[in-house]
Amino acid sequence: MSRPVRLLFVEDNGDDYLLEVRALRRSGWEPDARQVTRLDDLRAALRECRYDCVVSDFSLCGFDAYAVIAEVRALAPGTPVIVVSGTVGEDTAVQLLKAGAIDFVTKDALPRLGRMLERALAERDATLAKATAEAAVRESESRFRTMADSAPVLIWLAREDDAFEYVNHAWLDFRGRTLADESGAGWREGLHPDDAAAWDEAFARARAAGGGFRHEIRLRDRFGDHRWMLVHGAPRRDARGYIGSAVDITEMKEMTAELRRSNAELEQFAYVASHDLQEPVRMVTMYLELLQRRSLDRFDAHERRYLAVVLEAAARIRSQIADLLAYASLGQERRPAVPTDAAAVLDESLAIFRDEIERLGAVVDRGPLPAVVVRPDDLRQLLQNLVGNALKYRGDSAPRIAIAAERAEDGACRFTVRDNGIGIDAQNHERIFDVFQRLHSRDAYPGTGIGLSVCKKIVESYGGRIWVESTLGSGSTFHFTLPAAADVAVR
């Protein structure tokens, strides 16, 4: 099948022109050909139409192939030129190629012209594609820099070796330096010396994994103060290296530290207050019980009812103080976390409920539990609260509780405690984890409303999270994550 091609022949010999066209047709081309003999006609033809290739004789009347190449480069850049000549010496051929010819052929080797044309067009297309891609990259880079220089956050581009290629205006304004100052390793002059090794490690780890990273560093500002910066980096798609941003989080870290101090003080206050309140409440309860034992027969029905109400209130206060003390004690200095056999801790927790499980006819299904890095008392409290709730908030049928665990994608261990109880309305899924939050009256379900908040505090103290999936009337499934212990047997 013939391949169409639009060609401009610069040839002052009509017979040679016909021979060249015939040679191309025999090679499978179908030329849409035009012949010109003068330089002015060449210029006019190039202005009128875009040609796939120019085929020029070397020596013409009043000009030569060098002049043709110059005109083509000026008026139709990117159009390949093939030179045809009776005889072309090696030196002349080299000079033609240097001048811009794509190839040359002698007139006694015209059968090669078809292959030369194919090669010339392929090279032209490759050059055009490369130029188009480079232009697109330049345009994209220009748009990126325009947007980056307008952004309020600090933006940077780095090579694979951590050398900066570009930073935006916000970065330069923050540092009080020029792009030349910050390029290469220059930006590291503002990096706090104590943060350099950790930054290098984070960058190298991300590069080895081929992924992004998130890291905090201290960077010196234009006034000479080191500010805390949260730096995000992501691999660049079009080139090797990274693109990233940096946000000043100094105030946020100061506020977080102040909040931690305030929370610690509040927890200490709650711990001390609840601890100190235990004794006077215990004394009040003791004397009320003593009064009940010794003088109850002298009270009338109203007085006995009043005394019962006061005793019940005192018992509730003692229970709330005990729960509050347990909640506050989670913020105190305690023993370090250790690899803990979750299956053994579950055995201990279920033993506490053995009588209640038998009384209710409850069924507890359990799967293998991975070991986790926690304080055993914390895990025991966590499981007791969730199992206790499953037994307490049961439906009409006998309770069924399923406890399982699996490794999550992030390497942590995700536990699941599922029951067939009364369920929880979706609007309360977050609220139930707040302190002293109750969804039912004390007459219906006794308790202080602290249990799940204790669970949340325990889980979050290990960097995990706890949540519930539930529909009212259809049971509940509590999930929580804890750090997994490596190389510890699972049973």
Query: Which tokens go with 334?
Result: 């305690």
pLDDT at residue 187, as a whole number: 94
Beta bridge partners of 338: 374
Looking at the structure, tell me whether residues 378 and 458 fall in a common domain: yes
Helix and strand counts by DSSP (H, E) for the chain: 14, 19
pLDDT at residue 18, as a whole number: 92
CATH of residue 284: 1.10.287
In a domain, 405, yes or no: yes
In a domain, 155, yes or no: yes
Looking at the structure, tell me whether residues 50 and 179 fall in a common domain: no
**Which residue reads 């999550």 in tokens?**
408
In a domain, 488, yes or no: no
Structural domain boundaries, residue 406: 338-482
Query: Which tokens go with 103?
Result: 């190839």
Across the 491 residues of the chain, what is the mean pLDDT of every consecutive 10-residue run? 87 90 91 92 92 91 91 91 82 86 87 89 86 72 70 86 89 93 93 94 89 92 93 81 90 81 62 58 71 73 76 69 61 72 91 89 90 90 89 87 86 91 86 68 58 87 90 90 68 38
In a domain, 136, yes or no: no
In a domain, 487, yes or no: no
pLDDT at residue 67, as a whole number: 93
Instruction: Please give the Cα distance from 363 to 487 (Å, whole number).
Output: 31
Which DSSP string do the residues of 210-263 spell out, in sequence order? Answer: TS-EEEEEEEE-TTS-EEEEEEEEEE-SSSSSEEEEEEE-HHHHHHHHHHHHHH
Beta bridge partners of 9: 35, 55
Looking at the structure, tell me whether residues 230 and 202 fall in a common domain: yes
pLDDT at residue 268, as a whole number: 61
Looking at the structure, tell me whether residues 277 and 159 fall in a common domain: no
Task: Give the residue from 116, 96, 111, 142 showing the smallest Cα distance to 27.
Answer: 111
Domain boundary among the residues 248, 273, 289 is at 248
pLDDT at residue 447, as a whole number: 54
Looking at the structure, tell me whether residues 296 and 345 fall in a common domain: no
pLDDT at residue 416, as a whole number: 93
Looking at the structure, tell me whether residues 352 and 437 fall in a common domain: yes
Burial status of residue 158 (CB atoms within 10 A of its CB: 0-12, 13-18, 19 or more): buried
Instruction: Please give the Cα distance from 194 to 192 (Å, whole number).
Output: 5
Looking at the structure, tell me whether residues 472 and 357 fall in a common domain: yes
CATH of residue 212: 3.30.450.20
Looking at the structure, tell me whether residues 241 and 260 fall in a common domain: no
Looking at the structure, tell me whether residues 343 and 470 fall in a common domain: yes
Looking at the structure, tell me whether residues 233 and 278 fall in a common domain: no
**Which residue reads 């290296």 in tokens?**
241
Domain boundary among the residues 223, 248, 273 is at 248
In a domain, 489, yes or no: no
Answer whether 58's CB lies under 8 Å from 31's CB.
no
The number of folded domains in the chain is 4
Looking at the structure, tell me whether residues 420 and 313 fall in a common domain: no
pLDDT at residue 219, as a whole number: 95
CATH of residue 344: 3.30.565.10
pLDDT at residue 373, as a whole number: 92
Domain boundary among the residues 248, 278, 303 is at 248
Answer whether 24's CB lies under 8 Å from 114's CB.
yes
In a domain, 143, yes or no: no
In a domain, 90, yes or no: yes
Looking at the structure, tell me whether residues 477 and 347 fall in a common domain: yes
Instruction: Please give the Cα distance from 335 to 333 (Å, whole number).
Output: 7
CATH of residue 37: 3.40.50.2300
Handedness of CA 257, 259, 262, 266 (dihedral sign): negative
